[in-house]
């Protein structure tokens, strides 16, 4: 393992590296490694062609992420600074111009009501019996950048855990996510829809590779974006983590093949015949029972 604090220093390409000097922008701009979000984008409903386009053409900041970025800053102590846009909304051109200027400067624009909201969210975290002690300032490290090489494919990988606590005999990693509602059913669907089980397995593997702990745990902290900003802390079921790891390995093999050949296929790939398509299996079965009997 190599820990690098000098932005100009280079570590051995094949060995694990932990860096505490990279900004989020520098981390996400790295083209020598692939991240968890990249692996997830390679598999359906994504595809390699869309992944490569998005990697080469980074999208503009999205308003939907502003609250999450701001909450991360207050809870973890790391992330872009805020700029308060002193308007009730973005209907006026002046408000829109100030918002766009903030984005250009790498700041998170917040309306006054949004600033009040993220302050209340951070306070709810501090008062929570599990999340509060977990994120206590000074007890962990926020947003370290970890790089390692996947043994099977030789692909360089990277993760950036929100929060790492190194305890006697245990490394505890926590991922903080804001969500419309943190009720367990909605959280469960979010894990499926965003393939967070892949993220869990990938981060776990990266931390094992870089820190070689005696033991480790990875937990999700979900917080509702609606008052009173309730919080659900959960650890993923092992079977889901195993599925996530298998998906990661398939995505890594796909990525390695794309890099080797320079071919980044879409959902169909090279075919000479037009494939068939059907409704989702549940609907096919339901309608077949109703109409084909």
Q: How far apart are CA 156 and CA 31, in angstroms?
A: 10
Is residue 273 in a domain? yes
Number of neighbours of residue 109 by Cβ within 10 angstroms: 23
Predicted pLDDT of residue 210: 93
Q: List the one residue out of 171, 162, 70 whose CA is nearest residue 111.
A: 70
Q: List the one residue out of 288, 24, 265, 271 whose CA is nearest residue 144.
A: 24
Predicted pLDDT of residue 269: 84
Q: Give the residue numbers spanning the domain of 45.
A: 2-60+128-163+240-291
3-state secondary structure 69-135: HHHHHHHHCCCCCEEECCCCCCCCHHHHHHHHHHHHCCCEEECHHHHHHHHHHHHHHHHCCCHHHHC
Is residue 54 in a domain? yes
Q: Which helix (H) or strand (E) holds 184?
A: helix 184-193
Is residue 233 in a domain? no
In tens digits, the chain (293 residues) has pLDDT values of 444 433 333 344 578 999 988 988 889 989 999 999 999 999 999 999 999 999 999 877 777 788 888 898 899 988 888 899 888 988 999 988 999 998 888 888 999 999 999 999 999 999 999 999 999 999 999 999 999 999 999 999 999 999 999 999 999 999 999 999 999 999 999 999 999 999 999 999 999 999 989 999 999 999 999 999 999 999 999 999 999 999 999 999 999 999 999 999 999 988 889 999 999 999 999 999 999 97
Is residue 85 in a domain? no
Q: How far apart are CA 163 and CA 153, in angstroms?
A: 28
Is residue 55 in a domain? yes
3-state secondary structure 270-285: CCCCCCCCCCCHHHHH
Is residue 74 in a domain? no
What's the distance, Cα to Cα, between the start and end of the chain in Å?
63
Is residue 153 in a domain? yes
Is residue 218 in a domain? no
Q: Tally the domains of the chain.
A: 1
Q: Answer whether 76's CB lies under 8 Å from 292's CB.
A: no
This model's pTM is above 0.85:
yes
């Amino acid at each position: 393992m190599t820990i690098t604090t000098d932005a100009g220093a280079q570590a051995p390409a094949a060995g694990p590296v932990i860096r505490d000097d990279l900004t989020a922008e520098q981390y996400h701009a790295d083209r020598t490694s692939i991240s968890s979000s990249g692996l997830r984008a390679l598999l359906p409903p994504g595809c390699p062609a869309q992944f490569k386009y998005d990697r080469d053409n980074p999208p503009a900041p999205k308003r939907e992420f502003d609250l999450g970025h701001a909450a991360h800053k207050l809870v973890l102590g790391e992330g872009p600074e805020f700029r308060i846009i002193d308007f009730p909304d973005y209907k006026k051109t002046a408000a829109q111009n100030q918002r766009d200027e903030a984005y250009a400067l790498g700041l998170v624009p917040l309306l006054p009501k949004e600033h009040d909201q993220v302050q209340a969210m951070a306070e709810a975290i501090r008062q929570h019996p599990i999340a509060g002690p977990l994120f206590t300032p000074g007890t962990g490290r926020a947003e370290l950048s970890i790089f390692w090489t996947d043994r099977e494919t030789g692909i360089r990988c990277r993760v950036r855990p929100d929060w790492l606590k190194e305890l006697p005999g245990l490394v505890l990693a926590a991922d903080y996510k804001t969500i419309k509602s943190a009720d367990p059913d909605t959280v469960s669907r979010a894990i499926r829809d965003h393939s967070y089980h892949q993220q869990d397995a990938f981060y776990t593997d990266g931390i094992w590779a870089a820190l070689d702990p005696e033991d480790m745990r990875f937990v999700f902290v979900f917080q509702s974006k609606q008052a009173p900003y309730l919080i659900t802390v959960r650890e993923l079921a092992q079977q889901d983590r195993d599925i996530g790891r298998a998906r990661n390995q398939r995505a890594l093999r796909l990525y390695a093949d794309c890099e080797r050949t320079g071919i980044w296929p879409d959902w169909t790939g090279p075919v000479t015949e037009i494939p068939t398509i059907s409704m989702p299996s549940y609907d096919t079965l339901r309608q077949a029972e109703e109409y084909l009997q």
